[in-house]
Amino acid sequence: MAKGTALFKAYMNNTIPSNGGFIICSFFDSDSIYSIFEVTAYKNVKDIYQTAEGLTFKTDGSRTHLLVEPPTYARRYEEPVHREAGKSIPYRFDDLTIITGQKQEKIMIPKEPLMLYTSFTILKTQGENFAFLFYPTEDVYMAIRKFMADSLYNDCGLTKEDALNAAQILLQTIKNFTVFT
């Protein structure tokens, strides 16, 4: 089965494939289960270089997100696109599939991915956050689904059932990425 490789380690070892791949990044809140996952696919890289913010890829890409919101989040009424920095994703409630978990947390997954034109940056990881690269193998979708379900269960504390359900819905959005068509 395909495995994730630490993105910045792959960059240092010059093993990021230019023909395409998937990158999964996490942004965890240290005070709650509030979490944002960002999944980006790319193809035909012209250049990759490191900046103060992270790694910049000179290519087009597709991107989607997954947001886990604890039941105690005070600004849950606010559209995710209008939330403060570090808590926002570029979607409105109408653009999201929203699951209420068994522990009353909200899991928000976009119905459609975003298209990234010309270039995009993957931010440097800090603290518990991660950035993993998945190579475009035949079983990459199964690997991404398993990886996301495991992270949602282990890192966000979702029930196994909710984690598997959210990972499956996220996978449907990932399969709508246009970068590989």
State how far the Cα of 116 lies from the Cα of 62, in Å rounded to an integer. 6
- Amino acid identity at 63: R
Cα angle 158-164-169, degrees, rounded to a multiple of 5? 110
10-residue averages of pLDDT along the chain (181 residues) = 89 93 96 96 94 94 97 95 95 97 97 94 93 94 97 97 98 90 62
Q: What is the pLDDT of residue 121?
A: 94
Rg of the chain (C-alpha set): 16
The burial of 126, by beta-carbon neighbours within 10 Å (0-12 exposed, 13-18 middle, 19 or more buried), is given as exposed
> Residues for the chain: how many in total?
181
Q: Which sequence spans correspond to the domains of the chain?
A: 4-174
State how far the Cα of 95 lies from the Cα of 67, in Å rounded to an integer. 13
Q: Specify the pTM.
A: 0.95
